[in-house]
Chains A and B, each alone.
Chain A
Amino acid sequence: DAGVIQSPRHEVTEMGQEVTLRCKPISGHNSLFWYRQTMMRGLELLIYFNNNVPIDDSGMPEDRFSAKMPNASFSTLKIQPSEPRDSAVYFCASSDPLAASYNEQFFGPGTRLTVL
């Protein structure tokens, strides 16, 4: 398996622009997580989906952020409009709760977002 795939790997944009991050989970995994990582705040859970349905979006910082999972193999995280404080590494992770009791999450390589 190719693992969790994220694109783009790097994104540089200007304040006010729309940014869309993409994620393809591991085939067969039915849970998908979006995280944001910064030096100051560490790894923060933004939202997670189970069977394509958003279960907990309490970590989404504000209305500028939205996430969708139209099918089991694709998810997007959109920021509109982007701000410099959104600069971070965004990780997508997937898991299969039925495969192991400890519910290991497999992380993608991340998208490094810089908002100028």
Chain B
Amino acid sequence: QKEVEQNSGPLSVPEGAIASLNCTYSDRGSQSFFWYRQYSGKSPELIMFIYSNGDKEDGRFTAQLNKASQYVSLLIRDSQPSDSATYLCAVKNTGNQFYFGTGTSLTVIP
């Protein structure tokens, strides 16, 4: 079982819609959760992090964490073509190790 699992997609949504990206993790003791965005040919950049159960909002982005279900998600409201990228879920586990999912490819259609 992989430490972090994501649907690889591709996920396509129309401009202005909500994009929903999901991630599950295996280490129940994990405490820190991150979403990185990676444009094609570029390096990952951090867009959101979350520690506590519930929702965390930052502009058009909302991260949701459910530790009981070992599930973390990212919602992108009012999706824009510039949001088209691969989104990587990352988890820092109890051993202070970072694990990344393989990423979900998102395309926002104008």
Interface residue ranges, A against B (CB under 8 Å): 33, 35, 41-45, 56, 91, 102-105, 107-110
Residues of B within 8 A of A108 (CB): 43
A110–B44 Cα distance when bound, in Å, is 10
Residues of A within 8 A of B97 (CB): 45, 56
Question: What distance in Å separates the Cβ of B100 from its nearest Cβ neighbour in chain A?
Answer: 4
Residues of A within 8 A of B32 (CB): 102-103
Is B71's CB within 8 Å of the partner chain A?
A: no
In B19-76, the 8 Å CB interface with A consists of: 32, 34, 42-46, 49, 51
Interface residue ranges, B against A (CB under 8 Å): 32, 34, 42-46, 49, 51, 88, 92, 95, 97-103
Using A102-B32, A104-B46 as known contacts, list a sample of 7 further A-B pairs with CB atoms less than 8 Å apart, ordered by residue number in A: A33-B98, A41-B102, A45-B98, A45-B100, A56-B97, A91-B44, A102-B34
